[in-house]
Structure 1
Amino acid sequence: MAVVVGFIPTEVGFKALAAAREEAQQRGGPLIVLNVRREGVQKDPRHADEQQWEIARDQLRGTSVRVEFREETTDEDIADVLLDVMETERAELLVLGVRRQQDLARHLLGLTVQKLLLAADGEVLVV
């Protein structure tokens, strides 16, 4: 069954990528690596550039399941894009990396993660 990882090119994003790889291999894949860009926003640390995509590809080389890299752009809610891909791919698992940089983040999840936890049809793994 398909596994989708909401990929951001940060330390925790690469940890989520590793967790998604393991899950996809256990479940028989495929693995869909999805980076969602906000339309009209040029510099956002969550947007993967070509060098970061290459690092992600290197991390996933040798994976025993099919891996697909996608980049979507939206002016809507990022959570909706992730949910749409999960539905389209009939994914059973969504993997997310959660930033823990701020004191508040240790106690509360961001709005996007909360929405995904509540609305996803499949399982959600938060790394």
Structure 2
Amino acid sequence: MAVVVGFIPTEVGFAALAAARQEAEQRGGPLIVVNVLREGVDEDPRHANDQQLEIARDELRGATVRVAFRQETVDDDIADVLLRVVTEEKAELLVIGVRRQRELARHLLGLTVQKLLLSAPCEVLVV
């Protein structure tokens, strides 16, 4: 069954990508890599440009499962986009990365992560 990874072009994002690849290969794939773009926001460090997507593709070359990349545009809620993709792909696992620089207890992992953990119709792996 499918594994979906929410990808951002950061150290944490690449760690999530590696974990998602491993999980997809163990589960028989495919691996769907999703980068969410905020509509109307040009300079967001979470938006992967062509070069960053190519680096991610290089990281996944040689994977033993099918790999697909999707860039989805959202005007509001990133979690809703990832949940929609999980449902569309009938994924059995969603992989997300969490920045470790922030104090986790402050907002109990942030609203997006909370929503994903509470609403995902599948297992969620937090890297």
Q: TM-score band (shorter)?
A: over 0.9
Aligned to 1:105: 104
Aligned to 2:95: 95
* SS state at 1:17 partner: helix
Identity %: 75
Aligned to 2:36: 36
Aligned to 1:62: 62
Aligned to 1:76: 76
State the Cα distance separating 1:101 from its structure 2 match.
1.6
TM-score, normalised relative to structure 2: 0.96
| Partner Cα separation in structure 2 for residue 62 and residue 13 of structure 1 | 19
| Contact in 2 for aligned 1:100/1:106 (Cα 8 Å) | no
Name stretches of at least 5 consecutive residues in structure 2 with no aligned partner.
none
State the Cα distance separating 1:110 from its structure 2 match.
1.2
Counterpart code for 1:105: L
Name stretches of at least 5 consecutive residues in structure 1 with no aligned partner.
none
Provide Cα deviations, 1:16-35, integer angstroms capped at 9, x if missing partner.
Answer: 00000000000000000000
State the Cα distance separating 1:100 from its structure 2 match.
1.4
State the Cα distance separating 1:105 from its structure 2 match.
3.1
State the Cα distance separating 1:118 from its structure 2 match.
0.1
| Partner Cα separation in structure 2 for residue 49 and residue 43 of structure 1 | 11
| Partner Cα separation in structure 2 for residue 78 and residue 116 of structure 1 | 10
> How many residues are matched?
126
Please report the RMSD computed on the Cα atoms of aligned residues, expressed in angstroms.
0.9
Equivalent residue runs for 1:11-22 within 5 Å: 11-22=11-22
